[in-house]
Chains A and B, each alone.
Chain A
Amino acid sequence: MAETITLLALFEDVEPAAAGIDRLHQLGLQDDQIFILSGVPLMERVLGRPKQHTKIPILALAGAIAGFLLGLFLTFGTQILFPVSVGGQPFLPIPPGIIVTTVMTLLVMLVFVFLGVFFESYLPAYGPLNYVPAVSDGKIAVQFTCPPEEQPKFFQAMTDSGAKSVDLAEAKPL
């Protein structure tokens, strides 16, 4: 593989960033060679990017099923394991079962979703990463890889689109 360098262009606003990404496409870069960092969530269409897919809804479903089974075990399983007779109520009561099952379904689903965010985003990440603090101040960072000899061409393209700065991406701990 030919040696490549990683450049990071900072844009102030959405329109220049979108224009910049367009120029990168014109210069031959594919979508997976471009990487966006932003301080607010931006719809992919706004910047002309392909849609991101997430497995979080599937994790939610898996969590819901796990929670449902847990709820069933708590109400009915424990009564079967250690039968105790109380107050003339049926041995395996359905209405309390509904309550416990509902609560457990929701709980485990949410725990799975929360853990899923971290798992899917490969967080926590405490090692060195490509980042500029200006991103959390609202700038949009467009990071891309290109062959080193074409660096001036890309530099010019980004500056023409309105980038505030174009630098080599530095990976440092955040």
Chain B
Amino acid sequence: MAVTAKSLPLTDAEPSEREDPGEHLMLDPRPRGEMNAMVMESMQTTSRGFWGLTLILGLVVAICLFVAWGYLIAEGLGVSGANRPSYWELFLVNTVYWIGIAHAGTFVSALLRVLKVEFRRPFTRAAELMTAFALINVGLSVFMHLGRVWLAYWLIPYPNERGLWPNFHSPLSWDFLAISTYLVASTLYLILPLIPDLAMARDRSTGWRKIFYRILAVGFRGTEAEWTHLKAAMNIFAFTVLPIMFIVSTIVSWDFAMATSRPGWTSSIFGPYFVVGAVHCGVAAVVMVLYIIRKTMKNMKYFIRLEHFDALGKLMLVISILWAYFFFNDYMVSWYGGDTVSKILQKFLEQGPVFWVFFTVLICNALVPWLTLWNKKVRRTPGAMFVIGMLINVGMWFERFMIIPLSLTINHMPFTWRIYVPKIEIPLTIGTFALFFLLYMIASRLIPLIPVWEVQEGQMAHSLRKVGKATVISTTEIE
């Protein structure tokens, strides 16, 4: 885009409307050296609280993930809560939920890059890290639900002496390919813009850190050729990772939608419904992570500002409305013209023993954002945004819970209807969350979280300009 005109009523505005241009990150440039130093300092500063939390998370991961999972593998899925008819349990809920979180990074990094939205600049890497670690959790959750996980490699298409191949009629095979593709694509997309920042870290480190960054920065210097190739590749990646994001979520939704006979699952709107749902909890999770980074890491208040929460809040509101649209589509069709069993399922969800799940979903995903996010003051309060983001995540997790184990309860054979009660899935779920936070905490001290070169690039392109009597922000197309 050439020039965006956003009026800053500097001279003749009411005092309450007056905005300080320095409040915008893009209009508050500091020397690159200073920004580099800030990022390096935030990376190298650790407190006792940091180490204490890391230790606790490590313990939780060791017990809730490794020990509990070892027990699960040794004893079999009997120690979980799955039964007939809820053959799929919390592990699948977690799988779909973490894919949603993974969409955070892609949405923020790829979509906002493609649309040349400038406010994305400081937090693309924080979001991409979320994607990478969330996808690890997706893989773990999928492996957890397998009955014979030691044979999971049979899902990989490799030539073997028996001539056996995986079944590509099956949505689970598409799942495997799509999630692998998403993992590879997101990781590579994380690495590419990271290389210049690793070079910066290499130049500013000593000791073991210097060796570490030197190896990872692969000798990047910033020559014209290197930048040209990097930018061309990042462009292609941004445009490509977007369809991959849509495809992955759609294929995951087809795990359920392809079921011939499950009421509540054979809905042709599952594809877009899951995509929007994933983006919904993903963007909410980005807000949560940004709040934590801003609060706990040094110098982050310079990079992550209230304007970012403001913009993300508006995005969250729009996505929430979109989610409600797809939810209502699915619900309405079933309510109006669904067959007997579908109607029984709806009644079970709304009035059955766990009816609070249904209402939690609606309140957290739709009501809370709609009541709060239209208000600029709320959007510009990071604490409030954190709470709203958390509620949305809770709501989306319960929405998956509603779709998978709860909807499986009602089917065409009434003799088999039975309530699902999770057992070992609970510690394993806690373990995956702990793993996510642990990995993120470790990464925050090893990898520069802010893509400083992109921030500087953006700051070079932004300036103030007088149009008539008004002073406006102007963005020039310098790339």
Contact = CB atoms under 8 A, between A and B. Distances in A.
Contacts of A107: 177, 180-181, 184-185
Interface residues of A, number: 62
Interface residues of B, number: 61
B151 interface: no
A97 B169 CA distance: 8
A93 B173 CA distance: 14
B460 interface: yes
Interface string A113-124: 110111011011
Interface in B185-206: 185, 188, 191-192, 196, 199-200, 202-204
B202 A174 contact: yes
A124 B168 contact: no
A25 B167 CA distance: 64
Nearest to B456: A40
A2 interface: no
A50 B283 CA distance: 41
A39 interface: yes
Contacts of B247: 99, 102-103, 106
B223 A35 contact: yes
Given A96-B174, A136-B200, A174-B219, A82 B227 contact: no
A61 to B, nearest CB: 10
Interface in A36-84: 36-44, 46, 49, 52-54, 56-57, 60, 74-75, 78-79, 81-82, 84
A110 interface: yes
B251 A110 contact: no
B218 A124 contact: yes
Counting chain B CB atoms within 10 Å of each CB, the highest count among A79, A84, A93, A102 belongs to: A102
Given A106-B181, A114-B233, A125-B218, A40 B168 contact: no
Contact of B229 (A56, A100, A103, A138): A56
A100 B200 contact: no
Contacts of A60: 236
A131 interface: yes
Interface string B197-234: 00110111000000000100111111111111111110
Contacts of A118: 218
Nearest to A73: B157
Nearest to B189: A110
Counting chain B CB atoms within 10 Å of each CB, the highest count among A57, A86, A109, A137 belongs to: A137
A148 B169 CA distance: 70
A5 interface: no
B110 to A, nearest CB: 12
A121 B217 CA distance: 13
B302 interface: no
Contact of B219 (A56, A81, A124): A124
Given A46-B478, A106-B244, A114-B188, A57 B232 contact: yes
B23 interface: no
Contact of A56 (B222, B227, B233): B233
A89 interface: yes
Contacts of B220: 121, 123
B181 A39 contact: no
A53 B241 CA distance: 24
Contact of A103 (B165, B181, B224, B241): B181
B286 to A, nearest CB: 23
Nearest to A173: B214
Given A107-B184, A110-B240, A82 B165 contact: yes
A120 B32 contact: no
Interface in B230-256: 230-233, 236-237, 240-241, 243-244, 247, 251
A96 B174 CA distance: 8
B479 interface: yes
Contacts of B223: 35-37, 121
A138 B33 contact: yes
A134 to B, nearest CB: 8
B178 interface: yes
Contact of A78 (B36, B168, B196, B244): B168
A104 interface: yes
B217 A110 contact: no
Nearest to A56: B232
B13 interface: no
Nearest to A41: B227
24 contacts: A37-B223, A40-B456, A40-B460, A41-B457, A44-B224, A52-B224, A54-B229, A78-B166, A78-B168, A81-B165, A93-B169, A96-B174, A103-B244, A103-B247, A107-B185, A110-B236, A111-B188, A114-B233, A116-B233, A121-B229, A121-B230, A133-B203, A133-B204, A174-B217
Given A103-B244, A104-B181, A124-B218, 19 more contacts: A37-B221, A38-B222, A41-B457, A41-B479, A56-B236, A75-B168, A78-B165, A99-B247, A103-B247, A103-B251, A106-B244, A110-B185, A116-B233, A126-B214, A136-B199, A137-B36, A138-B31, A138-B456, A174-B217
Interface of B: 31-33, 36, 157, 163-169, 173-174, 177-178, 180-181, 184-185, 188, 191-192, 196, 199-200, 202-204, 214, 217-233, 236-237, 240-241, 243-244, 247, 251, 453, 456-457, 460, 478-479
Interface of A: 14, 35-44, 46, 49, 52-54, 56-57, 60, 74-75, 78-79, 81-82, 84, 86-87, 89, 93, 96-97, 99-100, 102-104, 106-107, 109-111, 113-114, 116-118, 120-121, 123-127, 129, 131, 133, 135-138, 174
